[in-house]
């Protein structure tokens, strides 16, 4: 018995005792503290963990340093875009300012992602979705402001969404998951390669495209030529009753389509004090670039469709399709 005990003691003495600095106190399964020896962890735990898709607490706390800088900019764009939509029906100055800042942050977002080495696929998709949604919302408002041209604005929304979706899907399906939608080879399309690889061209095309729609938005408040309803005035009797404290209908629907007796008419009268000169200048300067941007969208849609069709042809040939029909006797 003593011999067995001495052997166990000798084995324990022969095994090296872990040093104090190599021990780490961690929480056990039942919450009680336990000691873990350094070097026994799995190799996956040795690398820093990055949470690309942020949890809700981090999203709510977006102004802290827990969120990477590019994503903070991306979420700020969304907040500004939503705020601009809130002010869109009746506050053209505030809406235009918030919308313009949201669009300009798009360029800053990409620069920050490259500078801080935080470029992610989630960030790229978030930027594209934000761009498509904000532009579509503005075009929806223009459809209500200029109902005669609603079908044109609806077509622009459809073209914008379809071309970018087809291009993104074709890039992932044919180019591989690691390939970016901005990596366009000149052999596929020279204009798309220039558009996506030249940052100056990309910025000017996107900025002036949005500038044209913002100019139309401002003209809907300031130009009776485009919006004849702006010539309507509040009758003297109704205006006097309003100034004396008469209640008026201030529902959101009547803000969008105001009548002379609504509170929205007074707000539009204040907004209509804007001069339409600079919106006309902005619309004239940005119109050619906007038209070019729509041509690029058409080219992008056609090229992506052909790229997917080529892949389908190769896949069908690999499966032996179409099968040759047997000749009947």
pLDDT in tens, 27-37: 444 444 444 44
Give me the pLDDT at residue 282, please: 97
User: Which is more confidently placed, 48 or 295?
Assistant: 295
The CA distance from 306 to 301, in Å, is: 9
Per-residue pLDDT for 19 more than 50? no
Per-residue pLDDT for 102 more than 80? yes
Say whether 34 sits in a helix, a strand or coil.
strand
Q: Which residues are catalytic?
A: 131
Average pLDDT, the chain: 75
Q: Which of 253-257, 262-266, 319-323 is the least confident region?
A: 253-257
Give me the pLDDT at residue 225, please: 79
- Give the mean model confidence (pLDDT) for residues 193-216: 95
Please check whether residue 150 is in contact with residue 288, taking contact to mean a CB–CB distance below 8 angstroms: no
Give me the pLDDT at residue 90, please: 79
Third-level CATH fold of 69-175+188-225+263-319: 1.20.120
- Give the mean model confidence (pLDDT) for residues 55-65: 36
Tokens of 70: 């590019």
Domain ranges of the chain: 69-175+188-225+263-319
**Tens of pLDDT along 218-259?**
998 888 778 766 655 556 665 566 556 655 444 444 444 445
How sure is the predictor about 68, in pLDDT bands with cuts at 50, 70 and 90? low
Of 147, 138, 155, the closest CA to residue 218 belongs to 138
Q: Is 117 left (phi over 0), alpha (psi -120 to 50) or beta?
A: left
Per-residue pLDDT for 303 more than 80? yes
Give me the pLDDT at residue 59, please: 38
Per-residue pLDDT for 112 more than 50? yes
* pTM > 0.85: no
């Amino acid at each position: 018995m003593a011999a067995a005990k001495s052997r166990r003691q000798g084995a324990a003495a022969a095994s090296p005792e872990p040093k104090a600095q190599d021990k780490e106190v961690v929480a056990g399964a039942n919450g009680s503290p336990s000691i873990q020896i350094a070097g026994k962890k799995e190799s996956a735990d040795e690398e820093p963990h990055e949470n690309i898709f942020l949890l809700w607490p981090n999203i709510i706390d977006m102004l802290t340093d827990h969120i990477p800088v590019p994503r903070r900019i991306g979420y700020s764009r969304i907040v500004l875009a939503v705020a601009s939509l809130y002010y869109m029906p009746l506050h053209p100055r505030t809406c235009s300012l918030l919308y313009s800042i949201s669009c300009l942050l798009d360029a800053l977002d990409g620069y920050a992602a490259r500078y801080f080495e935080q470029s992610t696929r989630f960030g790229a998709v978030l930027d594209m979705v934000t761009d498509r949604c904000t532009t579509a919302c503005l075009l929806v408002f223009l459809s209500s402001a200029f109902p005669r041209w609603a079908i044109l604005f609806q077509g622009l929304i459809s073209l914008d969404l379809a071309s970018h979706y087809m291009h993104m899907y074709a890039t992932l399906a044919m180019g591989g998951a690691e390939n970016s939608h901005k990596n366009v080879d000149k052999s596929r399309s020279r204009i798309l390669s220039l558009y996506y690889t030249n940052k100056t061209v990309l910025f000017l095309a996107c900025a002036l495209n949005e500038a044209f729609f913002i100019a139309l938005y401002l003209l809907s408040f300031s130009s009776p030529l485009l919006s004849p309803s702006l010539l309507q005035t509040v009758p003297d009797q109704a205006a006097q009753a309003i100034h004396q404290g008469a209640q008026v209908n201030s529902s959101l629907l009547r803000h969008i389509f105001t009548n002379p007796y609504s509170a929205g008419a007074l707000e539009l009268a204040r907004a209509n004090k804007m001069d339409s000169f600079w919106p006309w200048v902005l619309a004239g300067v940005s119109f050619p670039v906007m038209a070019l941007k729509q041509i690029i969208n058409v080219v992008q849609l056609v090229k992506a469709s052909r790229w997917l069709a080529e892949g389908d042809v190769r896949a069908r040939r690999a499966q032996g399709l179409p099968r040759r029909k047997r000749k009947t006797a």
